[in-house]
C-alpha cells in the first residue's frame, strides 16, 4: 500500500492553475444543478410517454430504489460528455474523475435511504428528494477533487471507461429484466421494472 501511494504521488505531470481550478469547479457546480433538474424531470417522463419502454430505460418506471438511481446516472453521464469537450484538456484524470463521481450517486442514495428508513421506519418524500440532491452533490464534489488532483496513472482511465459502460448496461438490463430483490421492488405496487409491459407489447 505504501508503494502504491508513493507511486501515485510521484506520477504527476501537470499541476492545475487557479483559473483552471475555478473553471472546473464552475462546471461541476453547473453539473450538479443539471443532474438535479433533469433527474427530477426523469421521474415523470415514463408516465408522460404513455409507458414507452425506450423512455423507461432512462426514466424511473416505478418507485423502487433502483429506478431512482437512474435519475442521477443518466444526467450526470450526459453532463460528463458536455464537459469532455470543454475541460478535459485543462483538467487531470478526467475519465476517472467523472466515473467515480457518477458511481457515487447510485452508491450514496441507497446508503442514505436505507439508513434513514431504518431509523424512522418509513420513507418520506422530502427526505428522498434531499437524499438525491445530496448524492449528486457528493458525486460532483469528489469529481472536482479528482479533476484538480495531480495526474494519476493512465490505466485508471481505461478501467473507468469499462466500469461506466457496465453500469449503463446494468441500468438498461435491470429495467427490462429486473431481479426479484428488494432493491428492485416497487413498494407501492409490488412490481419489478417494466417486464410485464415489455412482454405485453
| Domains in the chain: boundaries | 20-200
- Does 1 have pLDDT greater than 50? no
Q: Cβ contacts of residue 114 below 8 Å, gap of 6+?
A: 65
The torsion region of residue 192 among left (phi > 0), alpha (psi -120 to 50) and beta comes to beta
- Does 166 have pLDDT greater than 90? yes
pTM of the model: 0.85
Q: Which pLDDT band holds residue 17 (cuts at 50, 70, 90)? A: confident
**What's the sign of the alpha-carbon dihedral 146, 160, 95, 84?**
negative
pLDDT per residue as tens digits for the range 58-80: 999 999 999 999 999 999 999 99
The torsion region of residue 179 among left (phi > 0), alpha (psi -120 to 50) and beta comes to beta
- Does 4 have pLDDT greater than 80? no
DSSP state of 34: H
Amino acid at each position: 500500500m505504501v508503494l502504491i501511494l508513493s507511486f501515485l504521488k510521484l506520477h504527476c505531470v501537470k499541476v492545475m492553475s487557479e483559473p483552471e481550478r475555478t473553471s472546473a469547479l464552475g462546471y461541476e457546480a453547473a453539473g450538479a444543478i443539471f443532474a438535479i433538474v433533469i433527474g427530477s424531470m426523469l421521474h415523470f417522463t415514463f408516465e408522460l410517454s404513455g409507458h414507452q419502454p425506450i423512455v423507461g430505460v432512462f426514466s424511473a418506471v416505478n418507485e423502487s430504489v433502483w429506478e431512482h438511481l437512474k435519475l442521477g446516472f443518466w444526467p450526470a453521464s450526459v453532463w460528463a460528455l458536455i464537459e469532455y469537450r470543454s475541460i478535459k484538456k485543462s483538467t487531470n484524470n478526467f475519465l476517472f474523475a467523472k466515473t467515480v463521481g457518477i458511481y457515487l450517486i447510485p452508491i450514496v442514495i441507497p446508503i442514505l435511504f436505507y439508513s434513514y428508513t431504518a431509523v424512522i421506519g418509513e420513507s418520506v418524500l422530502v427526505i428522498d428528494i434531499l437524499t438525491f440532491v445530496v448524492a449528486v452533490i457528493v458525486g460532483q464534489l469528489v469529481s472536482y477533487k479528482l479533476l484538480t488532483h495531480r495526474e494519476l496513472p493512465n490505466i485508471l482511465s481505461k478501467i473507468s471507461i469499462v466500469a461506466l459502460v457496465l453500469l449503463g448496461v446494468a441500468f438498461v438490463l435491470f429495467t427490462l429484466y429486473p431481479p426479484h430483490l428488494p432493491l428492485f421492488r416497487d413498494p407501492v405496487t409490488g412490481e419489478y421494472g417494466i417486464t410485464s409491459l415489455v412482454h405485453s407489447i
